[in-house]
Amino acid sequence: MEYSYPFSTDWSTNEIVDVIAFFQTVEKAYEKGVQREDVLSKYRRFKEIVPSMAEEKTIFREFEEESGYVSYDIVKQTKTKENGSIIKGEKKSR
């Protein structure tokens, strides 16, 4: 699939790379499954870049519209699962 990742022109190159890495982890969760710790570390870095909950929701919505992947569902699973659990999402049909 070809789509673009949401980002802000205010972010540095490293911040853009880190945000994309988070979204790639979300994609991987839907496609193969990922370890809980992987999601947590990428999400923590994402929150350093995007501390505002309102901005997070906007960026998550933009990513979902482009890709069909729901970042919120993966983050929510990560917060409720036990250590080492594999996180896997079910992609919603568009």
> Is residue 6 in a domain?
no
Query: What 3-state class would DSSP assign to 89?
Result: coil
Question: Which residue segment(s) compose the domain that 26 sits in?
Answer: 13-83
What residue type is 2 in one-letter code?
E
> Is residue 76 in a domain?
yes
> Is residue 78 in a domain?
yes
> Is residue 54 in a domain?
yes
Per-residue confidence of the chain (94 residues) as pLDDT tens digits? 688 999 999 999 999 999 999 999 999 999 999 999 999 999 999 999 999 999 999 999 999 999 999 999 999 999 888 877 777 776 655 4
CB 36 within 8 A of CB 85: yes
pLDDT of residue 1: 62
Beta-bridge mates of residue 86: 35
Nearest alpha carbon to residue 63 among 15, 10, 23: 23
Q: Decide: residue 65, CB within 10 A, 0-12 exposed, 13-18 middle, 19+ buried.
A: exposed
> Is residue 32 in a domain?
yes
Q: What is the total count of domains within the chain?
A: 1
> Is residue 94 in a domain?
no
pLDDT of residue 81: 84
pLDDT of residue 7: 93
- How far is CA 76 from its chain centroid? 11
Q: Decide: residue 52, CB within 10 A, 0-12 exposed, 13-18 middle, 19+ buried.
A: exposed
> Is residue 50 in a domain?
yes
